[in-house]
Amino acid sequence: MAFDFWGIIIVPILIFLARICDVSIGTVRIIFVSKGYRYLAPLLGFFEVFIWLLAMAKIMQNIDRWYYFLAYCTGFATGNFIGIILEERIAIGHVALRVISRVPADQLITQLKDAGYGVTFHTAQGSTGTVDVVYTIVKRSEIQTLARLINEFNPKAFYTIEEVRAVNEGIHGYARSARQKAPSGRK
């Protein structure tokens, strides 16, 4: 009896790769749904389900091959991991950044303004005394840049980052680009 190279090696690898693709696409699709991309999300959903059906059809045709199930499950787990990495790299949308500092935040506020970010701030009473609270809305792709800026200002500053579904007016990503290109006068 000859070794079934195709059925024992190639098909499980294809099932594994198909599962990585469909789960990764599904992760990105869910993000697009949450961000309101109403045309792109269904298109991704089509490909996600199409790939899933191809993998499932092969498994159902060969229900007695346990290693197909193993390839399917392993592809699912790997697809989740890759989908999360893709989501972080795509970095679509905006986030609200809130910084709470026991150190006066004047320097941070100036740096943020000089970098073109809109800033709202106030002094507040925290559980350990007076703090400065600084708010800004930024593109998700700029989080690392802002984290470095905050850590340069105060490595012990407490900050939170929250998802923002929509942004209207204000000084943030798109407005900053337009301001930097705008002629002198009102910006």
Q: What is the CATH number of the domain that holds 100?
A: 3.30.70.120
Q: Are residues 77 and 119 in the same domain?
A: no
Q: Are residues 76 and 116 in the same domain?
A: no
Domain tally for the chain? 2
Q: Are residues 158 and 139 in the same domain?
A: yes
Q: Are residues 59 and 42 in the same domain?
A: yes
Residue 186 counted as domain residue:
no
CA distance 45 to 19: 14
Give residue 132's domain range: 94-181
Residue 187 counted as domain residue:
no
Q: Strand 120-126 and strand 129-139: pairing?
A: antiparallel
Q: What stretches of 22-128 adopt beta strand conformation (E)?
A: 94-101, 120-126
Q: Are residues 129 and 71 in the same domain?
A: no
Q: Are residues 16 and 77 in the same domain?
A: yes
**pLDDT 10s per residue in the chain (187 long)?**
788 888 889 999 999 999 999 999 999 999 888 888 889 999 999 999 999 999 999 999 999 999 999 999 999 999 999 999 998 888 888 899 999 999 899 999 998 988 888 999 999 998 989 999 999 999 888 988 899 989 988 888 899 999 887 777 666 544 444 444 444 443 3
Residue after which a domain boundary falls, among 71, 90, 109: 90
Number of alpha carbons in the 13 Å side-chain half-sphere of residue 49: 5
Q: What are phi and psi of 61, to 5 degrees?
A: -70, -20
Q: Which residues is 125 bridged to in the sheet? A: 130
Residue after which a domain boundary falls, among 41, 58, 90: 90
Crossing angle (nearest 10°) for helices 106-114 and 143-153: 150
Q: Which residues contact 61 (CB under 8 A, 6 or more apart)?
A: none
CA distance 171 to 120: 10
Residue 119 counted as domain residue:
yes
Residue after which a domain boundary falls, among 38, 62, 90: 90
Q: Are residues 109 and 62 in the same domain?
A: no
Distance of CA 95 to the CA centre of its chain: 10
Length of the chain: 187
27-78 pLDDT, tens digit each? 999 988 888 888 999 999 999 999 999 999 999 999 999 999 999 999 999 9
CA distance 25 to 36: 16
What is the model's pTM?
0.68
Q: Are residues 70 and 11 in the same domain?
A: yes
Q: Are residues 86 and 118 in the same domain?
A: no
